[in-house]
Amino acid sequence: MKNRWWSFVGVLFMVLLAMLIVAYYKDNNVASWLKISTLTAGVTFVIGLCGTLTNIFSLRKKESGITWCQIIILLVIGVWIIGFVMIFDIQKSGSSTVVFGIIGGLLSLIFQDKIKGVVTFIHLRSNNLLGIGDWIKVPKYNVDGVVRKVTLTTVTLSNWDTTTSTIPISALQSDHFINLQYMSDGKTYGWRMSQSYIIDTDSFRPITNEEAEQLKSDEFNKSHNILGFLPEEEIKEGAFNASIYRLYLYHWMMKNPRISQKPRLNIRWIDQVDGGMPLLVYVFIITDSIDDYEWQMSLITEHVAESLRWFGLRLYQHPTSHDYQQRKGVEL
Amino acid sequence: MKKGVLREKPFEFLRDKNGEKFPKETVKNWYKARIYVLEKLKDVAYAPNEEGHLQVIVENDTPIMLAVVRSVALYAHYLNFKEEDLFGNYVAKNRTVITLVSQNENIDAILKKEDCLCNLIDNFRWSKFGETHNTNSYLDIELRIEKESVEEAGAKIIRMTEKDVDVFISQQDEKDIYTIDTRKAIMANKMYELGSLIDNLPAEDIHCAKRYTMALDAFQYVLLKDEMLPLIDEAQWNADIRKVKNGISSILCADCFESRARAMGGGNKEKLRQWEKYNMELSVSEHARWVTERLIMGIRPLNAKEYFQYENLFDTKRAAYSKMLKNNIEDQAHLDICSFRDLRRINPGDMIYDSFLLLAIPRILEKIK
């Protein structure tokens, strides 16, 4: 709707400007006025029609239809300018040409963002960088949502918080934006998960013979299947529990059908913090929806929390009032 | 390009693990079974979204009928096969079922031999007199050994008998039976090589049929103009069994072109959009066919210890280790022998071969009619 208003106001502005110029420099010529009026009416009609079609095409995600409508708008504006020049025979009059040039220069200055928008529109559409329904992020404008409408000058988005944002399309040329649609469609290697878990270093120690036998026992493996991910010979008395656990978690991730081994799959210790040693899980989850991605992340976190205990390890957390209460003789 | 048909004899070059040639009678049975099975399956095709499956009943377990079982396993791969359901569970829906009628208690040992199903037995779902093995198999083909012929409700049934084979073979020209027109296989081989040139997989869409189509259109004219040299290079094929297996792989792949084209509604250029649209289904089916063929050719998947070692290596060392296993002539193991879903997460770079080759099929069929 806003776009149609802009088209209408723009055309009206140009008509008024033309009338002023012609009234000043030329004798009143009824035939010429009739021609320019007809041309203006035709151009306005085509722009209106294309605007309406753009809205209809946006509903059906007909990308090529939208692009053609916007290009037609651009062309009819060009036709109007050429028509204006020809009808009033401006090229033959030296003084008119100068004034027209000055007016044109001024218009370019006033509408520079619009002109940039047109260039950006053509660039984005011809390279398939932006489409209706694409999930994009524009950090500069704090925009994170789905593209609903693209015109020569603006992009309208529905944000995840159910608000609507309209940003100048030229911003997508001059500023950084992220298109997450290919990832969202599950066409890339996966959705990145980078999560660290702080392990209490007090629980780091070599495993005992009993623990090793327990980890290798049939009964234990029937429910936890550690041997499906770690060879038996790796689990032995004296082996460092944090090291075996990292190895276990790495091979568990490598065999997880929802985790891609490409482009990277990394399980590593990162810089020691006050609470302990963080174990970083850096993997790519194969999915095609944000809800599923978050669900899979939760499943991984739950597995980490559960499996740490099997190796005598524990997650770090600050002592709570419950911990203090459990220690006799300590007053709160 | 030579105008004439190019007929070659590839099966004679196959050898067992000890490097010994297979008996002449076995090789003859392979040729007979190939031409017979292709004829029997010539009207079978399932479109990607079609429900239903094929049941092939092979009566009797004589050598020729076992060769028929082998050929059915090599060729009966259809586009409606579904690896997994919406929950991500392996469901292997619409598998082709081969029912082998046999009274032999030791039939599984015979099927496991190198001239029959070889490593396929360890990897596909099969049952003997009701006892099922490899229940979680991801492959699109299943074998049921029954004492009596049992027809499945809802399946398209094709019955194959020894008498039928004999009658069919007796009506064929000997040259047509014991030689193979390799022109399509040669083209398939060329397309495989072309696919291997694409080493920059687009990260934004690792399975982008449209781009592969563009690459094919850009290069096909050069490739198709090349002189068509025979598939078999005797010196190379005698020296290196891997060349033989790869060459035969192209033949087996090309033998399925027609059934793929039928499922797509035609192999002409007007249907190219269909091939692009269903590239994923085509790729899943082709991958299942390729895995079956590799297993029958004696190549196996990595075992648990090899996987563990593979996973403990990184970058170029990991690739080198996988290549080393693949090139070990005594006991070839291939990383890509897995489901298509696992291929996508383990070795997505190799998905291109299936996709690329399948998009080339209508172009090849247009050239070689």
Average pLDDT of span B123-136 = 95
> What are the domain boundaries of chain A?
2-110, 135-183, 191-310
Q: What is the pLDDT of residues B139-160, one digit of tens each?
A: 999 999 999 998 998 999 999 9
Which residues in chain A (256-315) have CB-CB distances under 8 A to chain B?
Answer: 257-263, 286
Q: Looking at the predicted structure, is the pLDDT value of residue A15 above 70?
A: no
Q: Write the class of the CATH domain A135-183.
A: mainly beta
Asked if B204 and A263 come within 8 Å (Cβ–Cβ), the reply is no
Chain A CA closest to residue B305: A231
Chain B CA closest to residue A234: B308
> What are the domain boundaries of chain B?
23-173, 178-367
Q: Looking at the predicted structure, is the pLDDT value of residue B339 above 90?
A: yes
Average pLDDT of span A209-220 = 94
Asked if A250 and B344 come within 8 Å (Cβ–Cβ), the reply is no
Q: How many CA atoms lie within 13 A of A215 on its CB side?
A: 29
Q: Please say whether the beta carbons of B191 and B357 come within 8 A.
A: yes
Element (H, E) at A54: helix A30-60
Q: What is the pLDDT of residues A53-64, one digit of tens each?
A: 887 887 777 778
Instruction: Judge whether A192 is closer than 8 Å to chain B, CB to CB.
Output: no
Q: Please say whether the beta carbons of A136 and A180 come within 8 A.
A: yes
Lowest model confidence (mean pLDDT) among B13-17, B210-214, B299-303: B210-214
- CATH hierarchy code of domain A191-310: 3.30.70
pTM: 0.83
Asked if B345 and A188 come within 8 Å (Cβ–Cβ), the reply is no
Average pLDDT of span B242-255 = 95
Q: Looking at the predicted structure, is the pLDDT value of residue B213 above 90?
A: no
Q: Where are the beta strands (DSSP E) in chain B?
A: 7-8, 54-59, 82-84, 90-93, 96-101, 125-128, 131-133, 141-146, 156-160, 180-181
- How far apart CA B173 and CA B169 sit, in angstroms, is 8
Average pLDDT of span B77-82 = 96
Q: Please say whether the beta carbons of B294 and B301 come within 8 A.
A: no
CA distances from B73 to B166, B192, B247, B293 (A): 20, 23, 18, 8
Interface probe, candidates A182, A184, A292, A293, chain B, greatest B C-beta count within 10 A: A182
Give the residue, B192 or B78, on which the prediction is more confident: B78
Q: What is the pLDDT of residues B250-301, one digit of tens each?
A: 999 999 999 999 999 876 766 778 888 898 899 999 999 999 999 999 999 9
Q: What is the pLDDT of residues A123-148, one digit of tens each?
A: 887 777 888 899 999 999 999 999 99
CA distances from B57 to B68, B100, B146, B150, B156 (A): 10, 6, 10, 8, 11
pLDDT of residue A319: 84
Average pLDDT of span A46-51 = 89
Q: Please say whether the beta carbons of A269 and A246 come within 8 A.
A: yes
Instruction: Judge whether A127 is closer than 8 Å to chain B, CB to CB.
Output: no
How much of chain B exceeds pLDDT 90, in percent? Answer: 70
pLDDT of residue B190: 84
How much of chain A exceeds pLDDT 70, in percent? Answer: 87
Average pLDDT of span B94-111 = 96
pLDDT of residue B2: 45
Q: What is the pLDDT of residues A257-283, one digit of tens each?
A: 999 999 999 999 999 999 999 999 999
Q: What is the largest CA-CA distance in chain B?
A: 57
pLDDT of residue A328: 64
Q: Looking at the predicted structure, is the pLDDT value of residue A27 above 60?
A: no
